[in-house]
Every structure is written in structure tokens, then in C-alpha cells.
């Protein structure tokens, strides 16, 4: 008797790991530094008491989707409805559902590296063949090369990420428009991952329409201070929402998650204040890094990618850990040699980080 054999095409797929260590200052996973407002917890506990536990939850999560549509319609050229929104357990489940619907075996997915590792990973697990094309050395996208790649490869799904994780770069609106045009010309779907969208000054939500092949994904994990909630969503044309709905498991979104999400959306003002405070702190971090002579890239997110001088990212990362500060070590990732990524924390955490980095770089 032998052990059951894992799918042959999975043998080449590497797992996804984000190492955690016990430290005082955790700036490695782009979470919000503060919990949601106290009033959120109180309101959530009140509605949680009333959950009819013997019943299945609202199957299509309509009240939650309607609220998301309302919030995302502010500032958009037209009003979205619940039919434009699909919610799932984190935007990772949204991305997986998109891949299961439009990619999968025998189909091609196109990513522009470096970018969020899970776009490729999830697509491979779904059986798709993933093609990675490079960004320029400054991590911007070469539009002509991107359009040519789409035209040549005819991918079923193209991923963009704006602001891009791990570089922080916001995609130029004209670039997104051009890649969308090329994707539509080959009957593909463009997915714009906006996990950090609220930190940036423009969004691809303005492109979402019934006659456009684009969906935008967002999450409660970063801007909404609710990574523990596992709630993400897409905003897209109604036909795309209907098609993706066919692959999600029945009742995939439990009653508590739906309620917590709906309650959270009552605190839009608090969320925007926090985002503004984090953006201000980000600019302080950027200035601090500049003062230390560290190479960095412009960020429209709640983190900054930087490359300490000397090129030994591992040593600097370890030096920070020795001072109880944890950042993301990207130094061995393809195209990111020597780079580290720091999440914007509270002012105190950011001060601790800058002081620790100064000490490490100064040999102190
Ligand atoms: C964090 C992150 C996600 C994952 O979000 P969840 O909703 O927590 O699953 C998706 N995309 C990008 C680019 C991210 O950085």
C-alpha cells in the first residue's frame, strides 16, 4: 500500500509562508496597527446574540453586498448594487473563485512580477499555467510590453495589483486602461487587486461597467482593521458576479462574518480617518528612510519597500529582529535582491523601527 499521490501538477507548486516571530514591534504583514473602534465590537456583540444558529446563514449575503455596493459607489461614476458585489472569506477566496471560474486547467494566467505571490500560487493550484512577465527595474509596468504579452499569450485572466504588493507602486490609470483594452481584445478578464486601494489616490473601480471585462478586489484585512475577520469582495459587472457565484460553495460565508462586515461598514468615517493617519505616518517613514540613505520606492499603500545600503538584506533583517522589530524579508525573492518591506505601524512602532534601523546601519 502506498500513500495517495498528490496531483502531478501540484508537485512543482511551492507553499505560501509568512513567518511569524515573537517580537515587540510587528511590521511584517501589512495589517492595521490598531483594532477596530470599541463601538464596532459592542455593536457586533449585540447582533451576534441574535443569530439564529439552527438556520443556515443568508445564502447570497445580500444585505452585506448591498452595503458594500453603497460604500463603494461613493466617488464612483455610477451606483453599484448588490448584484455588482461578491463577498467571500478574504480576498484570497475571491481570487481563488475567480481563478476557478475563468482560469483552471488548459488556460493561461498572466502576472507581472514582482507582485503578490498568491495570484500565481492560487492560479497554479487551480490548474492554470501561469506566465510571469517582468516589470521594469523601478517596478513600473512597461505598457507596450504588457499589451504585447497579452496579445501574444491570449490569457484568460490577467492580474494587476494596485497599489502593488510588495513594491507599493500605484499603477498608472492609463496603464490599467491599456492592459484592459488588450485583455478584452482576447476575451480575457482583468483582475485589479486593490487590497490597499483606499490608501491610494485613484482606483480602477471607475472602469467597472457591464460592458467591460474587469473586476476589482478589495478586503477588510488592511484598511478595515479586520484581518481576523477573513472578509473580502469583488466589485464587477453583474454577469461576472453571477458566473463566479456558481463556483463558490453553498453557504461559504458564515452568519458572523456577514454580520461583522455589515456592522464594520457603519464605521466608514473611522476607517477613512485611520487611513489618512497611516498615510501621514507613511510619509514620515519615507522621510526617515531617506534620512538614513536607504533606497526605496514610492508607495501608495500602508507599507514601504526599501533596500538598505550594502545589499545584505538578511543581515539587516536579523539586526532588526535582534532589536525586536519584525519586517518582511524579501531579500531572497526573485527581482527583489536585498529588499525589505516595512508595514506602517503606530507612530511609536515607526519610531522604534527607524531607531532600530539606524542602529543596525550604523553598526550600533
Ligand atoms: C493582503 C492581501 C490580500 C489578502 O487579503 P485577504 O482578504 O486577507 O485574503 C490580497 N491581495 C493583496 C495584494 C494583499 O496584499
What does the pLDDT look like over 39-64, one tens digit per residue?
999 999 999 999 999 999 999 999 99
Distance CA 274, CA 261 (A): 17
* Pocket of ligand 1 contains residue 165 by CB under 6 Å: yes
The fraction of the chain above a pLDDT of 90, given in percent, is 91
21-36+269-361 CATH: 3.90.1150.10
* Pocket of ligand 1 contains residue 194 by CB under 6 Å: no
- Residues paired with 156 in a beta bridge: none
Predicted TM-score (pTM) of this structure: 0.96
- Atom 12 of ligand 1, residue of closest alpha carbon: 195
Residue pair 219/323 in contact by the 8 Å Cβ criterion: no
Distance (Å) from CA 203 to ligand 1 centroid: 16
Distance CA 37, CA 271 (A): 9
Can you spell out the DSSP letters for 189-240? EEEEE-TTGGGSS--GGGG--TTS-EEEEEESSSTTS-GGG--EEEE--HHH
Question: Which residue, chain included where needed, has cell 466589485?
Answer: 235
What does the pLDDT look like over 275-331, one tens digit per residue?
999 999 999 999 999 999 999 999 999 999 999 998 899 999 999 999 999 999 999
Distance (Å) from CA 2 to ligand 1 centroid: 37
Instruction: Count the residues in the chain.
Output: 364
* Pocket of ligand 1 contains residue 195 by CB under 6 Å: yes
38-266 CATH: 3.40.640.10
What does the pLDDT look like over 184-228, one tens digit per residue?
999 999 999 999 999 999 999 999 999 999 999 999 999 999 999
Model pLDDT, residue 10: 87
Cell triple for 86: 461578491
Distance CA 57, CA 255 (A): 5
Distance (Å) from CA 223 to ligand 1 centroid: 11
What does the pLDDT look like over 86-127, one tens digit per residue?
999 999 999 999 999 999 999 999 999 999 999 999 999 999
Domain chopping of the chain, boundaries: 21-36+269-361, 38-266
* Pocket of ligand 1 contains residue 350 by CB under 6 Å: no
With a cut of 80, say whether residue 268 has pLDDT above it. yes
- Atom 2 of ligand 1, residue of closest alpha carbon: 195
Amino acid at each position: 500500500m502506498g500513500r495517495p499521490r498528490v496531483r502531478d501538477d501540484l508537485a512543482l507548486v511551492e507553499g505560501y509562508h509568512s513567518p511569524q516571530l515573537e517580537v515587540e514591534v510587528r511590521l511584517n504583514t501589512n495589517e492595521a496597527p490598531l483594532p477596530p473602534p470599541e463601538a464596532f465590537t459592542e455593536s457586533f456583540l449585540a447582533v451576534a446574540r441574535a443569530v439564529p444558529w439552527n438556520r443556515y446563514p443568508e445564502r447570497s449575503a445580500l444585505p452585506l453586498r448591498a452595503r458594500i455596493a453603497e460604500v463603494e459607489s461613493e466617488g464612483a461614476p455610477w451606483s453599484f448594487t448588490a448584484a455588482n458585489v461578491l463577498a467571500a472569506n478574504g480576498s484570497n477566496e475571491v481570487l481563488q473563485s475567480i481563478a476557478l471560474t475563468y482560469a483552471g486547467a488548459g488556460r493561461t494566467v498572466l502576472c507581472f512580477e514582482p507582485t503578490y505571490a498568491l495570484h500565481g500560487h492560487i492560479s497554479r493550484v487551480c490548474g492554470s499555467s501561469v506566465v510571469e512577465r517582468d516589470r521594469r527595474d523601478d517596478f513600473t509596468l512597461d505598457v507596450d510590453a504588457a499589451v504585447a504579452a497579452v496579445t501574444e499569450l491570449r490569457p484568460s485572466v490577467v492580474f494587476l495589483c494596485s497599489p502593488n504588493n510588495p513594491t507599493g507602486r500605484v499603477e498608472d490609470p492609463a496603464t490599467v486602461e491599456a492592459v484592459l483594452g488588450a485583455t478584452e481584445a482576447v476575451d480575457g478578464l482583468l483582475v485589479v487587486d486593490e487590497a490597499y486601494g483606499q490608501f491610494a489616490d485613484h482606483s480602477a473601480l471607475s472602469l467597472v461597467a457591464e460592458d467591460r471585462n474587469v473586476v476589482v478586489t478589495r478586503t477588510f484585512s488592511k484598511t478595515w482593521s479586520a484581518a481576523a475577520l477573513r472578509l473580502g469582495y469583488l466589485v464587477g459587472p453583474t454577469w461576472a458576479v453571477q458566473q463566479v457565484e456558481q463556483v463558490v460553495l453553498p453557504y461559504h460565508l458564515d452568519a458572523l462574518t456577514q454580520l461583522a462586515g455589515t456592522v464594520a461598514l457603519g464605521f466608514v468615517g473611522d476607517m477613512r480617518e485611520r487611513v489618512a493617519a497611516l498615510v501621514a505616518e507613511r510619509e514620515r517613514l519615507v522621510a526617515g528612510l531617506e534620512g538614513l540613505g536607504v533606497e526605496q520606492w514610492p508607495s501608495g499603500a500602508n507599507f514601504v519597500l526599501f533596500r538598505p545600503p550594502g545589499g545584505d538584506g538578511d543581515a539587516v533583517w536579523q539586526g532588526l529582529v535582534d532589536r525586536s522589530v519584525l519586517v518582511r524579508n524579501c531579500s531572497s525573492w526573485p527581482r527583489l535582491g536585498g529588499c525589505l518591506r516595512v508595514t506602517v505601524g503606530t507612530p511609536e512602532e515607526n519610531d522604534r523601527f527607524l531607531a532600530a534601523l539606524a542602529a543596525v546601519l550604523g553598526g550600533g
